[in-house]
Amino acid sequence: MKLATLALAALALATGADAQTKLKVGLMLPATGTYAALGTAIDNGFKLFVTEQGGRIAGREIEYVRVDDESDPAKATDNVNKLIKRDNVDVIVGTVHSGVAMAMAKAAKDSGTLLIVPNAGADAVTGPMCAPNIFRSSFSNWQPGYAMGEVVAKKGHKKVVTITWKYAAGDESVRGFKEAFEKGGGTVVKELNLPFPNVEFQALLTEIAATKPDAVYTFFAGGGAVKFVKDYAAAGLKKNIPLYGAGFITDGTLEAQGADAAGLFTTLHYADSLNTPRDNAFRLSYAKTYKLQPDVYAVQGYDAAQILAIGLAAVKGDVSKKAEFAAAVEKAKIDSPRGPFTLSKSHNPVQDFYLREVSGKENKLVGVASKALADPGKGCRM
């Protein structure tokens, strides 16, 4: 009997010792600063999936280590190295801010640690910085812009003015929009931008009025999104020049924007009224657990966990088998509340982008703006 137990133990140690030990997940998300709410939503979404699996993925119990990245790129490398070198995490999940994600991508590439990005849309993460161990469960900045470009062109608008902050996310979003819109026969007559995070829009709103375009495309997020939509309506432009935007201008901001957002069309890979069984189950589960309604960030967190689960199942809990992990995820179809999606070769979601219209306190689904839209992944060599 003793011999058998010893043999069994030896076998366990020899084969998947990992299968018995805990899997350390390092969550590098903003707990302080402007993006704290997004960090919390992603955290909630990720943990919800794990809880639904009984706290275990591929037989391994999940242990969390949290680091507040403060959305500060200057501290990013130190913070991610904390997770890699001090806490010896098996997986890193993060983050919201693209500058921070850039530093994380480098650290992940250098150390080979698995990284799943649950928000930061910097095109570079699945572009020049792509790697077999880096995955993204959210979007690239280019995608929602491109989807909206198709929509605006189809609606027959010819002259559009774009307006956003002068930073990478804004540039990439407008670039996506312009590409699709001009392909569809339209022209972007003016590209307005203001320094980040300046929120005094009046001067540029007057410019828009003077230019008299058919429509306006915009990309803003957070407090800036709330103010822009309100200012746009207050300046009387809303009834004269239709406003289109990447979904972030109306996501998580509707309570603050009130009637000023009513009727706005946006594109995003999620909507509040998808009404699919998968989404309904997710929304119910999330609301029950956190007493909050989920948003796109929660879904992205949830799907980051799904990606981890798929890969981990394929390698039977052994994260060191990176090639097999990547192969499994690249082949997989992720059953997300947003709808099923796959990952492109550069590990960015290939997903449907929905056209939504603001109705009451919801971004109601109107249709599919762009089916299975894939980011070109320029510069990715994998």
Partner 1 sequence: MFSRLVFVGLVFAGLALWPLVAGAYGLDLVIKIMIAAIFALSLELLVGATGLVCFGQAAFFGIGAYAAALLMARFDGAALWWLLPAAVLCAGLYALAVGALSLRTRGVYFIMVTLAFAQMAYYVVHDTPLGGGTDGIYLPGVPTAPLDLGKPLVFYGLTLASLALVFGVLGLLLRSPFGRALAGIKANEQRMRATGFSTYPYKLAAFAVSGAIAGLAGFLFAVKDGFVNPELLAWHQSGSVLIMIILGGLGHLRGALIGAFALALLEEFFKSEAVWGSFAKHWHLGLGLTIILSAALLPKGLVGIPQLWRDRLEARGE
Partner 2 sequence: MDFASFLIQCLNALQYGLLLFLVASGLTLIFGIMGVINLAHGSFYMIGAYMAYALAPIVESTFGGGFFSTLVVGLVLSVLLGYLLEWAFFSFLYEREHLQQVLMTYGLILVFEELRSILVDDQVHGVAVPPLLAGSLPLGELMSYPVYRLFVSGVCLLLAAGMYLVLTRTRLGMMIRAGASNREMVQSLGIDIKFLYRLVFAAGVAIAVLAGMVAAPVSSVYPGMGNTVLIVCFVVVVIGGIGSIRGALLAALLIGIVDTFGKVLLPSAAGVLVYVLMALILLWRPDGLFKVA
If contact means CB under 5 to 8 A according to the sort of partner, which of partner 2, partner 1, none does residue 283 touch?
none
Does the footprint of partner 2 cover residue 324 (CB under 8 A)? no
Q: Answer yes or no: are the C-beta atoms of 149 and 174 closer than 8 Å.
A: no
Does the footprint of partner 2 cover residue 252 (CB under 8 A)? yes
- Kindly state the smallest distance separating residue 247's Cβ from partner 2, in Å: 15
β-strand partners of 343: 349
Q: Answer yes or no: are the C-beta atoms of 45 and 301 closer than 8 Å.
A: yes
Site for partner 1 in 136-175 (CB under 8 A): 166-168
- Kindly state the smallest distance separating residue 284's Cβ from partner 2, in Å: 22
β-strand partners of 243: 216
- Kindly state the smallest distance separating residue 78's Cβ from partner 1, in Å: 5
Joined tokens for residue 153: 């062109």
If contact means CB under 5 to 8 A according to the sort of partner, which of partner 1, partner 2, none does residue 72 touch?
partner 1
Does the footprint of partner 2 cover residue 276 (CB under 8 A)? no
If contact means CB under 5 to 8 A according to the sort of partner, which of partner 2, partner 1, none does residue 194 touch?
partner 2
- Kindly state the smallest distance separating residue 282's Cβ from partner 1, in Å: 24
Does the footprint of partner 1 cover residue 342 (CB under 8 A)? no
Helix (H) or strand (E) holding 153: helix 142-154
Does the footprint of partner 1 cover residue 98 (CB under 8 A)? yes
Joined tokens for residue 217: 């495309």
Nearer to partner 2, 27 or 62 (CB): 27
Q: Is the peptide bond before 197 cis (omega within 30 degrees of 0)?
A: yes
Distance CA 90, CA 70 (A): 22
Pattern of binders to partner 1 over 15-34, x per CB under 8 A? ----------------xx--
Site for partner 1 in 184-223 (CB under 8 A): 195-196
Joined tokens for residue 331: 């082949």
Q: Closest Cα to residue 249, out of 231, 235, 234?
A: 231
How far, in Å, are 40, 351, 374 from residue 144 at the CA level?
23, 11, 11
Distance CA 357, CA 369 (A): 12
The residue from 16, 33, 59, 128 that contacts partner 2 (CB under 8 A) is 33
Q: Closest Cα to residue 174, out of 198, 156, 194, 202?
A: 194
Site residues for partner 2 per CB under 8 A: 32-34, 36-37, 40, 166, 192-195, 197-200, 202-207, 209-210, 212, 222-223, 225-227, 230-231, 234-237, 240-241, 252-253, 255-258
